[in-house]
């Protein structure tokens, strides 16, 4: 039995337009899972990624 795993993606960019464009782009791929968005990479975003990645 093979287990399929998706690639989890956290989008971090200070421009909302860029984040929105990347969100729409990622929806086109079944094996990519957008798990979150952040305006900038601050310690909370880094902590979140470390704990869930």
How do the pLDDT tens digits run along the chain, 53 residues long?
Answer: 445 778 988 888 889 999 999 999 999 999 999 988 888 766 655 665 555 54
Model pLDDT, residue 12: 87
**C-alpha span between 47 and 31 (Å, rounded):** 24
| Best CATH choice for the domain 7-52 from the list 3.90.25.10, 3.30.70.260, 3.40.50.2300, 3.40.50.10310 | 3.40.50.2300
8 Rama sector, left if φ>0, alpha if ψ -120 to 50, beta otherwise = beta
Rg (CA), the chain: 13
| Domain spans, the chain | 7-52
């Amino acid at each position: 039995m093979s287990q399929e795993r998706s690639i989890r993606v956290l989008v971090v960019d200070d421009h909302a337009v860029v984040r929105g464009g990347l969100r729409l782009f990622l929806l086109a791929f079944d094996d990519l899972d957008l798990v979150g968005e952040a305006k900038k990479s601050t310690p909370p975003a880094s902590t979140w990624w470390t704990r869930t990645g």
